[in-house]
Chains A and B, each alone.
Chain A
Amino acid sequence: MATVLVVTSGKGGVGKTTSTAALGVALAQAGQSTVVIDFDVGLRNLDLVLGAERRVVFDLVNVVQGEAKLAQALIRDKRVETLSLLAASQTRDKDALTEDGVARVIDELREKFDWIVCDSPAGIEKGAGLAMRFADRALVVTNPEVSSVRDSDRIVGLLDSKTLRAERGEKMEKHLLVTRYDPARAERGDMMKVEDILEILAIPLIGVIPDSEEVLKASNLGAPVTLSAPSSLPARAYLEAARRLRGETIDVTVPTEKKSLIGRLFGRRVA
């Protein structure tokens, strides 16, 4: 049974693409056949973060418009063979996507993959709407920052009203992924704590990714952090989040360098 997961946030620059790539690798490495789709038509970047930018021949728009077959547009990762990428078009705009066309592509992907991870563009316009439209579950990526939390709250409202599942009266499972978290600043009172964000957004926590220079290094290299530095703190946080996505119950911790703080529990279980 395939799961369509949308990675969304409202606000730009919070780590949707980074998280899509890192989690895509983590799921695929666990033996799940996984496809990551870039819905940011006109501003594609998932290909670059995955190091596949020179391998894109056909893209999502080509498939939606019937100009290429799905098999021609899927790019198999060279390092993790269970991972595929469906890139966005760089030369078209969001209007090139139609609801029927995207529905057809998602249906076809459901036949082939265990996980279909949709990397949403920022904003709440057509591209973001189509990225979440057919999702079974949603990952809401949020930074501990007022504008990001506000936009995430708006996105949660849209997930509960504008998705196919919501319209059918079915449950839309939502997970909160806090990224760029700095436990030391949160402890000093200069950054909202994970608990604060959880209380405001009121959706279950799937992971906390610490702010780390490893993340920028990984995108420089075109290898998600779960692949390029699997023992680094952010990679470990992503790997655990992927296990929770697959249904394992692991307490959410904020990985820190100091041994004494490892295992600092939040006392909250993920859904």
Chain B
Amino acid sequence: MNLLGFLQRKPSAPVARERLQILLAHERATNGRPGLTNLLKDEILAVIKKHVAIDPEKVQVKLDSQGGVSTLEIDIEMPARAKPAA
């Protein structure tokens, strides 16, 4: 390696770290706990359906884990005027 190359040398470890962080954020969402997201979605839906008529298609459940903290995000689109389920 010539002197210029040595001076321009960029450490590779930060690249490894960044690539892993991006990749794992994605992989954890898809296979961190197989089936858990769907299970939570079904059960939460069942509870809400007891009281409010909602469209199952308009429910988003997302599990995320970062820096040792896991978050569960539930996004339910309510009908314009929430009606009690029949």
Partner-B contacts on A (CB < 8 A): 145-146, 149-150, 153-154, 157, 160-161, 186, 188-193, 196, 199-200, 202
Main secondary structure of the interface of B (DSSP, over half): helix
The verdict on B16 contacting chain A, using a C-beta distance below 8 Å, is yes
* B20 x A189 contact (CB < 8 A): no
* B12 x A150 contact (CB < 8 A): no
Residues in B whose Cβ lies below 8 Å from that of A154: 27, 31
* B23 x A202 contact (CB < 8 A): no
Residues in A whose Cβ lies below 8 Å from that of B21: 200
Min Cβ gap B17→A in Å is: 5
Find A146's partner among B19, B36, B67 (CB 8 Å cutoff): B19
Min Cβ gap A259→B in Å is: 26
The verdict on B81 contacting chain A, using a C-beta distance below 8 Å, is no
Report how far A149 CA is from B65 CA in the complex, Å. Answer: 16
Q: Contacts A160-B33, A161-B33, A202-B68 given: A190-B20 contact, CB under 8 Å? A: no
* A188 x B31 contact (CB < 8 A): no
Residues in A whose Cβ lies below 8 Å from that of B36: 161
A and B contact pairs by CB, cutoff 8 A, 10 listed: A146-B16, A146-B19, A153-B24, A154-B27, A157-B31, A161-B33, A189-B13, A190-B11, A192-B16, A200-B21
Interface residues of B in 1-48 (CB under 8 A from A): 11-14, 16-17, 19-21, 23-24, 27-28, 31-34, 36
A199, closest chain B residue (CB): B67
Report how far A157 CA is from B68 CA in the complex, Å. Answer: 13
Report how far A200 CA is from B21 CA in the complex, Å. Answer: 7
Q: Contacts A146-B20, A161-B34, A161-B36 given: A196-B28 contact, CB under 8 Å? A: no
Min Cβ gap B70→A in Å is: 10
* A188 x B20 contact (CB < 8 A): no
Report how far A199 CA is from B23 CA in the complex, Å. Answer: 14
* A186 x B20 contact (CB < 8 A): no
Min Cβ gap B41→A in Å is: 16
* A157 x B20 contact (CB < 8 A): no
Min Cβ gap A150→B in Å is: 6
Residues in A whose Cβ lies below 8 Å from that of B13: 186, 189-193, 196
* A149 x B20 contact (CB < 8 A): yes
Report how far A190 CA is from B17 CA in the complex, Å. Answer: 11
Other A-B contacts than A149-B20, A157-B28, A202-B68, 12 sampled, CB-CB below 8 A, are A146-B20, A150-B27, A153-B27, A154-B27, A189-B12, A190-B11, A190-B12, A190-B13, A191-B13, A196-B13, A200-B20, A202-B67
Min Cβ gap B72→A in Å is: 15
* B24 x A200 contact (CB < 8 A): yes
* B67 x A150 contact (CB < 8 A): no
* B17 x A153 contact (CB < 8 A): no
* A150 x B20 contact (CB < 8 A): yes
Report how far A202 CA is from B70 CA in the complex, Å. Answer: 11
Report how far A149 CA is from B36 CA in the complex, Å. Answer: 23
Report how far A192 CA is from B20 CA in the complex, Å. Answer: 11
Residues in B whose Cβ lies below 8 Å from that of A150: 20, 23-24, 27
Min Cβ gap B22→A in Å is: 11
